[in-house]
A and B are shown apart, each in its own frame.
Chain A
Amino acid sequence: MNLLSNKYLMMISRFILGFVFIYAGVEKISDPDAFAVSITNYKLFPLFIINFFAIVIPWIELICGLLLLFGFEVKENVIILNLLLVLFIVLIFTALVRGLDIDCGCFGTSDGQKVGILKIVENLGLLLLGLLIQIYSTDMKATTLISSK
């Protein structure tokens, strides 16, 4: 318990998760159309919602990643990112089960990473860090950028 809530471990986890999401967000913001095609390839969502996801998800990744990095509302942010990670894992898993050989769209399309077991492991690793922060992070008081009254 003490080890898990260690503030350095917390900080490192926040940095890793924050940077990964910032990178992923920036890559996708620069080319929303390519990301929309990636989402379409999963063949799961109705057409009308795809562009909305393609516009919004990268920004959630970027801004929540930044807030996490700087320690604003850590728990409130990390729960959003954890939900995203769960969504990604489910999506990649269903794509694998259906035998889709597609680009995962994880970090934009520039690196062309395909869906696969490795991607699920990667996301599970990130989710582990996220849960660690969600459960053990204590620096709640820090800054109240968007605090509820």
Chain B
Amino acid sequence: MMKINYKVSMRILVIVILIALIYNFFSPNGIKLIREETTIQIIPDSLLITSENNNDQNRVINGISLKHTYNLFINKSATFIDARDQWDFNDGHIAGAINIPEFSFDATGPKVTSLNRDALYVIYCEGDDCDVSKRLAVQLIKLNFKSIYVFLGGWAEWINARYPIVKGEESK
């Protein structure tokens, strides 16, 4: 049994890291060395939301309150997107919402491509500590959707307020 030369291991590692960084720099799929955090900017209730409000930064998500969400619901000015899986969705969802589970998000699927990118969308998930609505928002913003909002209180806050819900599968 021969001894392992750790110096050689270290040398291999250093060279590989250099290759990786150089490749990443020139690759079209390359990513930034430091990951940017997604930040949530809370939109005050007094601000009127229309489909003219644009997401101008990739990593900033617009979050809205229950009151704001309910106004959009009453005015029918936004399409609601449920980011939870289909079973949670079938157990009950905001009336009129469509279901795009973040877990199986497919940017080229018929569900996403059929959406109007200029329209106003409100995304929600289970409650205020779930991530899928925010992640779905980032994905849609990347696809150049202009007005994406996240209802931060989510499903929990909505049923708590006894606002309209529907059970069962998505209406086609």
A residues whose Cβ falls under 8 Å from a Cβ of B:
29-33, 36, 40, 47-48, 50-52, 54-56, 58-60, 63-64, 67, 73, 75-77, 79-80, 134-136, 138, 140, 146-148
In the bound complex, how far is the Cα of B3 from the Cα of A138, in angstroms?
A: 10
| Cβ contacts under 8 Å, B20 to chain A | 55-56, 58-60
B76 interface contact, C-beta 8 A: no
In the bound complex, how far is the Cα of B147 from the Cα of A39, in angstroms?
A: 29
The number of residues on chain B lying at the interface, defined by a beta carbon within 8 Å of a beta carbon of chain A, is: 27
In the bound complex, how far is the Cα of B34 from the Cα of A36, in angstroms?
A: 11
Smallest CB separation, A18 vs chain B (Å): 14
Q: List 24 A-B contacts (CB under 8 A).
A: A31-B29, A32-B29, A32-B30, A33-B31, A36-B35, A40-B35, A47-B35, A51-B31, A51-B32, A51-B33, A52-B33, A55-B31, A56-B17, A56-B20, A56-B21, A59-B16, A63-B19, A67-B12, A75-B5, A76-B5, A79-B4, A79-B6, A80-B12, A140-B2
B residues whose Cβ falls under 8 Å from a Cβ of A:
1-2, 4-9, 11-13, 15-17, 19-21, 23-24, 29-35, 37
In the bound complex, how far is the Cα of B24 from the Cα of A134, in angstroms?
A: 31
Other than A32-B29, A75-B2, A146-B11, give 7 A-B pairs with Cβ distance below 8 A: A33-B31, A36-B35, A54-B31, A60-B16, A80-B9, A146-B15, A147-B8
